[in-house]
Amino acid sequence: MSGSASKQWAEENKKKSLWIVGIESVDVSQLSEPESLLDRITKMIQPPQSITLQLIGNALTLKGEAMQAWVENAAVHIQGLHEVVSYDDADVIRIDSTKHLLAVAKQVLQPPSTVQLQVMQDKTLVLQGFASQHWIRKMQKKASNIRFIKGIDTGALKLSDDVVLQRAIKALQPPVSVQLSFAGRTLLAEGTSKQPWISFAQKNALSIKGVFKFNNQVKKILSDEDILHAARVRMHPPSTVKLHFSDTTLVAEGHAPIAWIEQARKDAQLVKGVLHFVDKDLRATVSPWQRIALQVQVMQLESSAKKPMLTQSDQVTLKKLVLLYKDSLKFDSATHIHISSVYNRKTKLVATIRLKNIYNMLINDQVSPEKIHTHLQQEKSKTAASAVHFKLVSSKSLP
């Protein structure tokens, strides 16, 4: 026997055939099982591994994932089978259909509410609306990895950064010296401005819709008032001095002690924004202590190469020095006496002895030793006369 028949039929008919006269044996090895309808369908449509077929009675159902062309081709073949009464492929996901690709794109790209997506028949992904530069860069990288998407069209997609930037410019109204830019939800301000605008921007920037961070890189421009205030803080002018500032120049008027004027000239150079310091209308006032110091400063003792002892004239001068020194203590109790002895090569020994004698005389006249400072200095000129000079030093000028 050959052909197709069920195994059960073959066995039953094999036994019956042996009862027929003349038949001694029956060969059923050439018989094959008949194909089931499901096998025939499977062989006909050749489904991918991602598709499962289910046949219940004459009803065929397909589930899984497949390309749209295969699903349409399978439907055509199955419609030609009269044994199949019902056919359902609604649960098959067409992985390359525009509908499915749109769903995948939305899931992968997570577009903001301001962006609309559309997949065209040629599998081009079209985007329109507004989005940040940061999101667009990420989107382009992700979209290129979506299977079956053949192109990306962003021609109708505008930067939302520009929208936020224009909103910020309108709200903050920066001066021409300030440049604003916006990216990655951060508003950046660069340039120079006076403090009022900087304070205004810092207070209001984060209230602008779309701005989540404000990066202020604006350098402060000091106003004349700011610079004048800084000068007053550093220089501490007395009430008799008035300071004015305009066009990089600090002007001092009035009168002040010499020490303050000298220090003011140094301090003015350290005030940011001050390029020039003018004190031509500033008169120097001399305090009682300074008057005494000026008298002491012009006093000196001449020396002789052969006379180390103090002369009568020297002693009179030193007595006057002591009196002036004691008067200075009324105005500055920590006043010191500095004695400088200048000598040439031939008079060093005499100068040394005379300096010691002067020191001892001052001690005898009740001047405290710790208030006396002596200094020997060699004169470069061989012919220069040796001399002793005196100077009062205020405690305010001591280190």
What are the pLDDT digits (tens) for 27-39?
A: 656 655 556 778 8
CA distance 89 to 66: 11
Q: Is the pLDDT of residue 242 over 60?
A: yes
CB 134 within 8 A of CB 164: no
Assign 133 a pLDDT band (cuts: 50, 70, 90): confident
Which residues fall within 8 angstroms of residue 182, CB to CB, at 6 or more apart? 161, 162, 164, 165, 168, 188, 210, 211
- When comparing pLDDT for 151 and 286, which is higher? 151
- Structural domains in the chain, sorted by start: 2-92 (no CATH), 98-160 (3.30.1340.30), 172-217 (no CATH), 224-285 (3.30.1340.30), 289-397 (3.30.1330.60)
How much is the average pLDDT of 165-182?
A: 94
Q: Which helix (H) or strand (E) holds 118?
A: strand 115-119
- When comparing pLDDT for 371 and 183, which is higher? 371
Q: Quick check: pTM over 0.85?
A: no
Query: Mean pLDDT over all residues of the chain?
Result: 86
CB 268 within 8 A of CB 245: no
Q: 355-382, pLDDT tens digit by residue?
A: 999 999 999 999 999 999 999 888 766 5
- When comparing pLDDT for 23 and 256, which is higher? 256
Determine phi and psi for 72, rounding to 5 degrees: -65, -40
How much is the average pLDDT of 137-142?
A: 91
Q: State the pLDDT at residue 30.
A: 61
Q: State the pLDDT at residue 114.
A: 87
Edge-to-edge strand ranges of the sheet holding 241-246 = 241-246, 249-257, 276-285
Candidates 361, 26, 69; CA nearest to 77 is 69
Assign 42 a pLDDT band (cuts: 50, 70, 90): confident
Residue count of the chain, please give it. Answer: 399
What is the separation of C-alpha 132 from the centre of its chain, rounded to a whole number of angstroms? 21
Candidates 35, 51, 44; CA nearest to 77 is 44
